[in-house]
Amino acid sequence: MNKIKTIIKKEWAEVFKNRWVLFSVIFMPLLMTAIPLVMLGVMRTDTSMEMDIDSGLDAGVPEAFRSFCPEDLSGSECFQVYMVSQFMLLFMITPLILPVNIAAYSIVGEKTTRSLEPLLATPITTMELLAGKNLAAVIPAVAATWLGFLIYAIGARLLIVSDKVVAALLNPLWWLGIIVGGPLLAILSVNFSLMVSSRVNDPRVAEQLSAVVIMPLMVLFFGQIAGFLILNTLLVIVLILLLIAVDALLVYLGVRLFQRETILTRWK
Partner 1 sequence: MMIHTENLTKQFNTVLAVDRLTLDIAEGEVFGFLGPNGAGKTTTVRMLTTLIGPTSGAATINGHQVGRDDQAIRRIVGILTESPGLYDNLSAEHNLHIYASLYEVADAAGQIEKYLRLFDLWERRFDPTATYSKGMKQKLAIARALLHEPRVLFLDEPTSGLDPEAARLVRESIAGLRKEGRTIFLCTHNLDEADRLCDRIGVFKTRMLVMDTPARLRSQLFGRRVVFHLRQADDAMAAAVARLPFVQAAQTVENKVLVTLDDPEVHNPDIVRALVGLGADVQFVGELRRSLEDVYLQLMKGSKE
Q: Contacting partner 1 (CB under 8 A), which of 3, 66, 164, 199?
A: 3
Q: Please write down the long-range contacts of 71-80, taking CB distance under 8 Å and 24 or more positions apart.
A: 72/164, 73/164, 73/165, 73/168, 75/51, 76/49, 76/50, 76/51, 76/52, 77/162, 77/164, 77/165, 77/168, 78/53, 79/43, 79/49, 79/51, 79/53, 80/40, 80/43, 80/49, 80/160, 80/162, 80/165
Confirm or reject binding of residue 176 to partner 1 (CB under 8 A).
Answer: no
Confirm or reject binding of residue 226 to partner 1 (CB under 8 A).
Answer: no
CA atoms within 13 A on the CB side of 48: 1
Element housing 139 (H / E): helix 126-159
Confirm or reject binding of residue 199 to partner 1 (CB under 8 A).
Answer: no
Indicate the residue among 116 and 142 with the shorter CB distance to partner 1: 116
Confirm or reject binding of residue 264 to partner 1 (CB under 8 A).
Answer: yes
Buried b (16+ CB within 10 A) or exposed e, 140-177: bbbbbbbebbeebbebbeebbeeeebbebbbeebbeeb
In whole angstroms, the minimum distance from the beta carbon of 2 to partner 1 comes to 6
Which segment (8-16, 89-97, 171-179, 247-255) binds partner 1 by CB under 8 A?
8-16
How far apart CA 59 and CA 57 sit, in angstroms, is 6
In whole angstroms, the minimum distance from the beta carbon of 261 to partner 1 comes to 4
What string marks each residue from 84 to 123 as x (binds partner 1 by CB under 8 A) or -?
-----------------------------xxxxxxxxxxx
Confirm or reject binding of residue 268 to partner 1 (CB under 8 A).
Answer: no
Binding residues for partner 1, rule CB under 8 A, total: 26
In whole angstroms, the minimum distance from the beta carbon of 136 to partner 1 comes to 13
Indicate the residue among 22 and 211 with the shorter CB distance to partner 1: 22
Confirm or reject binding of residue 171 to partner 1 (CB under 8 A).
Answer: no
Give the interface with partner 1 as residue ranges (CB under 8 A). Answer: 2-3, 6, 9-10, 13-14, 17-18, 113-125, 260-261, 264-265
